[in-house]
Structure 1
Amino acid sequence: MELSPASPVSPQLAKAIGAVPEPDSVDGGLSYEPKWDGFRAIIYFDGENVEIGSRGSKMLTRYFPELTDAFRRLLPGPCVLDGEIVVPQGAEGSQKLDWEALSQRIHPAASRVNLLAETTPAMFVAFDLLSQADEVLLDAPFSRRRSMLDDLFGALPHPLHVTTTTTDVDLARRWLVEFEGAGLDGVVAKPLNAAYAPGKRLMLKIKHHRTADAVVVGYRVHKSGNGVGSLLLGLYTDDGVLLNVGGASAFSNARRLELIDELAPLVKRDTDGEIVSAETDRSRFSGSKDVSYVPLEPTRVLEVQYDQMEGMRFRHTVQFERWRPDREATSCTFDQLDRPIAYDLDDVLV
């Protein structure tokens, strides 16, 4: 199997769980590492040329010239790496990851890209090795891939790094608490004996709260008549159907007006240029309430914080966290959600 930009590999994914698992919960044990808060990236280096593939296999190469230069200079030979692009900010000794600065790196103007490469330079944190020289490592256990990654990155300087790992579950639980202060997003647990599974949720992720990436499918105008009152959100089913799962609101007056302009290019219009009419399904709670909304092309992704699901919807209005320009809309599926295991009410009442 060839791993190249022409034949890209889908990154292995993680399923959210509520707590750091015991190492003996998986045959062969677990390796724990920090969950980095950046852009997932697959690095393709053939010894001369570098391409940076996103989680959805779009090429991010042009946005990070400082990294492509570093890969060419520092990597000792052809390889394919899995890792995260992050932007550190702050004074030495008190740096933390800056998601906003990283998001701004995706810009259409080459002059702006070059300026940001100088003013907010990124770094790459590797956490898996998918091939080296002529050897494809997808079928190798993670323990072997990680050992080879350590050898490859042993002496490489900034901005190329390899993530720290441990098999000590108590240390991993400390990381979950302590590393948040540095802007990290939680802890990931990986089965030591497992092969790399492209596109599969084989890893386990433990975050500081429940979050999900959702597609913006439309918006409702604020009750004042000015600006966006709420964003309507969707998730894809396994067979590719986009379902409405709830909404995000609680924006400031200024932000409501800004969102109108930001979302204007995505508004669905008919051949006469008029906004397409759309309504959400009525429920027994709707009454005479206006359920109309402005439909949008389902291409923009945002991350939201939520407490729990009820059926196929968020139980309560969710909290907007941030835009996710690195995510493809079709990757926003229900299988990313942390769903409680079914439990018999009679057992609770005993």
Structure 2
Amino acid sequence: MTNAAKNRSYALPLDIEPMEAKLVNSLPDQKGWQFEPKWDGFRCLAFKEGSVVDLRAKSGKPLGRYFPEMLSLLKDLPVKRFVVDGELVVEAGGYLSFETLQMRLHPAERRIRKLSTTHPAKLVLFDILADSNGCSQLKEPFERRRELLEDLLGPFVLKNRLALSPYTKSAQTAEEWLAKAGADGFDGVVCKRLDGVYETGERAMIKVKRLRTADCVIGGFRYGSRSDKVGSLLLGLYNKEGKLDHVGFTSSIRDRERAELTEKLEALREPPGFTGKKPGGPSRWSTERTGEWEPLKPDLVVEVRFDHVTGRRFRHGTTLVRWRPDKKPRQCDYEQIDQAIMVDPTF
């Protein structure tokens, strides 16, 4: 971000947290809801004030240096100011690719510039937080905010660059979308109350996904049996007291990635790792090294797929879906799996 951007006063503070969604198992069956695809990308708040633009991830970290083409696009729009909420996505081979999107978080500016040309990002917009006059819209009902978003930026939609998220008010159509989730770059449906205000940092929306996934903090790791390479990652979620509880593990790490990942994890070793419930050590029946664990500084976030939750823990090992460098560790809490706990008959 330039000095001009740092010193610029936007309509809303740059550290404002986006409104989030709580995972549930089914779509609401009453009226008063709008349904949208849940896009498989980086959540992004875009701020514009005059010729200065700033992009922020869900974690609050700046994204602008990784998406220079999006900064240029928004800067050139004939709208002087706004704060909008959306999702950054990247297409590869005719499909939206999260893996290609992650490649943009690269330290080398030359690499970023090349990717911004070969695989330019697209911003899918779905909400507005401040209008062209710099007035906050947080207290306006969502239905009104959507209308304002369409009026303000709808005329400037560009194919493959800037889009308004499609939506429906039909639960039947939303069910059809859900049946197709996992294709076309979305992995579920987000449900928004038409009369709902924008509740920053709160899980005020709901989401339904075909697969159960959760974002977890890596609080520690175990070496593989008779190996100096990582064998499993220890997963954590923050409880209401703000302590990190151990909730399970994932060992679905690709062999070709173990050496590099081990090096990365060893550089982050720092006790205590988990500040709440901790992993158990080796039992009296086993003294193998795999029972021991290495505590980590809680910096890394990973998305895992799980089946059942028992006793507020994943009952079985989980499957590693992807790393989430765009997510703040403190955002990884039990609310993500509360619904799974409620409906799991084994709890």
Q: CA deviation at 1:129?
A: 0.6
Q: CA deviation at 1:75?
A: 4.8
In the alignment, the residues of structure 2 paired with residue 126 and residue 343 of structure 1 have an alpha-carbon distance, to the nearest angstrom, of: 33
Q: For 1:236, give the aligned amino acid.
A: Y
Aligned to 1:23: 30
- Picking from 208, 217, 220, the partner of 1:218 is 220
Name the stretch that deviates more: 153-162 or 124-133: 153-162
Per-residue displacement from partner, 1:49-94 (whole Å, max 9, x unpaired)? 100011121111111100000001125231100000110122xxxx
Q: Is the 8 A contact 1:88 1:97 kept in 2?
A: yes
Q: Is the 8 A contact 1:88 1:122 kept in 2?
A: yes
- Quote the sequence identity (%): 38
In the alignment, the residues of structure 1 paired with residue 261 and residue 149 of structure 2 have an alpha-carbon distance, to the nearest angstrom, of: 43
Aligned to 1:71: 74
Distance 1:310 1:71, change over 3 A: same
Aligned to 1:348: none
Which blocks of at least 5 consecutive residues in structure 1 are unaligned? 271-278, 346-350
After TM superposition, the score normalised by the length of structure 2 is: 0.88
Q: For 2:90, give the aligned amino acid.
A: V
Q: CA deviation at 1:265?
A: 2.2
Distance 1:7 1:67, change over 3 A: closer
Q: CA deviation at 1:282?
A: 4.8
- Picking from 5, 13, 36, the partner of 1:33 is 36
User: Are residues 1:9 and 2:12 paired?
Assistant: no
Distance 1:196 1:296, change over 3 A: same
Q: Is the 8 A contact 2:33 2:169 kept in 1?
A: yes
After TM superposition, the score normalised by the length of structure 1 is: 0.87
Q: For 1:82, give the aligned amino acid.
A: D
Aligned to 2:194: 192
SS state of the match for residue 325, structure 2? coil
In the alignment, the residues of structure 2 paired with residue 142 and residue 343 of structure 1 have an alpha-carbon distance, to the nearest angstrom, of: 29
Q: CA deviation at 1:7?
A: 4.6
User: Are residues 1:314 and 2:314 paired?
Assistant: yes
Q: Is the 8 A contact 1:5 1:53 kept in 2?
A: no
In the alignment, the residues of structure 1 paired with residue 56 and residue 342 of structure 2 have an alpha-carbon distance, to the nearest angstrom, of: 38
Aligned to 2:256: 254
Q: CA deviation at 1:150?
A: 1.2
In the alignment, the residues of structure 1 paired with residue 39 and residue 184 of structure 2 have an alpha-carbon distance, to the nearest angstrom, of: 10
Aligned to 1:136: 136
In the alignment, the residues of structure 1 paired with residue 39 and residue 344 of structure 2 have an alpha-carbon distance, to the nearest angstrom, of: 37
Aligned to 1:305: 305
Distance 1:4 1:110, change over 3 A: farther
In the alignment, the residues of structure 2 paired with residue 6 and residue 197 of structure 1 have an alpha-carbon distance, to the nearest angstrom, of: 15
In the alignment, the residues of structure 2 paired with residue 87 and residue 228 of structure 1 have an alpha-carbon distance, to the nearest angstrom, of: 31
Per-residue displacement from partner, 1:154-207 (whole Å, max 9, x unpaired)? 221241111011101111111112353212111100000011000111111011
Distance 1:266 1:5, change over 3 A: farther
In the alignment, the residues of structure 2 paired with residue 186 and residue 205 of structure 1 have an alpha-carbon distance, to the nearest angstrom, of: 7
Q: Is the 8 A contact 2:232 2:251 kept in 1?
A: yes
Q: CA deviation at 1:223?
A: 1.1
Q: CA RMSD in A?
A: 2.3
Aligned to 2:178: 176
Equivalenced residue count is 327
In the alignment, the residues of structure 1 paired with residue 42 and residue 286 of structure 2 have an alpha-carbon distance, to the nearest angstrom, of: 44
SS state of the match for residue 35, structure 1? strand
